[in-house]
């Protein structure tokens, strides 16, 4: 009778360990799928924003900005002279 109880105990420990490892694998695989779907969602969002121009109307666009030359600035010469006097002398 002691041998049957011992074998039943070993079987219970084995089945319990098997179930614990199965549950651990299931949880890890679900987390892995969540990470992969998250990466795909982020890539899709970034691709939509960059390629299809899905930005808000409030954000300024690069084409609407006009570059300014140094000669068009009013105080550029005075600022350059102050910089030279302050740091180069």
- Please give the tally of structural domains in the chain: 1
Query: Model pTM?
Result: 0.48
Q: Summarize pLDDT for 26-80 with one digit per residue, the tens.
A: 999 999 999 999 999 999 988 888 887 655 565 555 555 565 666 666 666 666 6
What domain range includes position 42? 2-88
Residue 70 makes CB contacts below 8 A (sequence gap 6+) with 76
């Amino acid at each position: 009778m002691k041998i049957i109880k011992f074998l039943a105990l070993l079987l219970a420990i084995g089945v319990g360990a098997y179930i614990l490892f199965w549950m651990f694998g299931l949880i890890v695989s679900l987390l892995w799928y969540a990470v992969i779907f998250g990466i795909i969602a982020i890539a899709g969002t970034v691709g939509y924003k960059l390629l299809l121009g899905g930005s808000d109307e409030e954000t300024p666009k690069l084409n609407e900005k006009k570059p300014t030359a140094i000669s068009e600035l009013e105080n550029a010469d005075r600022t350059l002279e102050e910089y030279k006097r302050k740091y180069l002398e």
